[in-house]
Amino acid sequence: MNAKLSAGLLVTALLATGCGGGTASGSQNSSATPKVGLITKTETNPFFVKMKEGAQKAAQANGMELMSAAGKFDGDNASQITAIENMVAGGVKGILITPSDTKAIVPAIKKARDAGVLVIALDTPTDPQDATDALFATDNLKAGELIGQYAKAAMAGKPAKIATLDLAPGISVGQLRHDGFLKGFGIQEGDPSIVCSQDTRGDQAKGQTAMENCLQKAPDINVVYTINEPAALGAYTALKADGKEKDVLIVSVDGGCTGVKAVQSGQIAATSQQYPLKMAEDGVKAVADFAKTGKKASGYTDTGVTLITDKSVSGVDAKDTAFGLANCWG
């Protein structure tokens, strides 16, 4: 495939997904340069910005050309399908993807794998997980469990009135974090201590609205679990407007720089930090190895998670915000 056609396919992919993309240096001789694709949920979330940065860096280091695309919003399965199809047509050796809809994306992934493309999920496993060749991700169940354990210990026996500000139905990463929080707190779904549950899609404005709705339903909420830090900051805004920000414990997941600063300032009590740069770097290296040797990555690789807080509690391992800021993203 000549460089002109390759570039045309890339433009097609980016127009179809409404997102930015890039190629590594040396793409003028693209027919001789192995290609790797990166498809994220969005291009605006700092988590995925850092993931793309890691992929670009690793692609250059491994002599590969990067094709990138993203959904227009979190949950945009159609754009991700289009991106997969265009990347396969563009001759990629492998595709790294954070699936927006973990079930609906599976047929498109199967077509890519049937065409000989290595497909690795980053951050979010598909449903079923073995729909991809491999998964490089945070243990999201553990991430949720850590903040659940922290919240339980921080409450020190005080009766909990919990609001869960979740992601959206059918997205495995959201379910795993939610389930992990409940496990860490020592309760099950349906426990009477859970007084409100709302979906936020990980969005700050939706997080604020969700918290407002929960406060109307249960004004005595004293623990808030959030799917990520934008949702947590939205919840904090709603609590502050109601004069309750000092009475409610907020815990979250992600470990972006904005989130860690919110822990440092006391807006969020604790967060579980994950490492998108490592996910992308390890994923690109796996595709580079496949391009060179034909050996496919397989199974699950845990890219790590760390509880970040400046108010440590007994029995839960944690690092302070100085560590968090040194390792954050965004």
Residue numbers of the chain with a pLDDT score lower than 50: 1-30
**If we measure between CA atoms, which residue out of 34, 13, 27, 6 comes closest to residue 86?**
13
Give residue 172's pLDDT: 82
- Going by the DSSP 8-state scheme, the letter that residue 295 receives in this structure is P
Give residue 246's pLDDT: 96
Give residue 75's pLDDT: 86
Give residue 28's pLDDT: 35
Give residue 26's pLDDT: 33
Upstream peptide bond of 219 is cis (omega within 30 degrees of 0): no
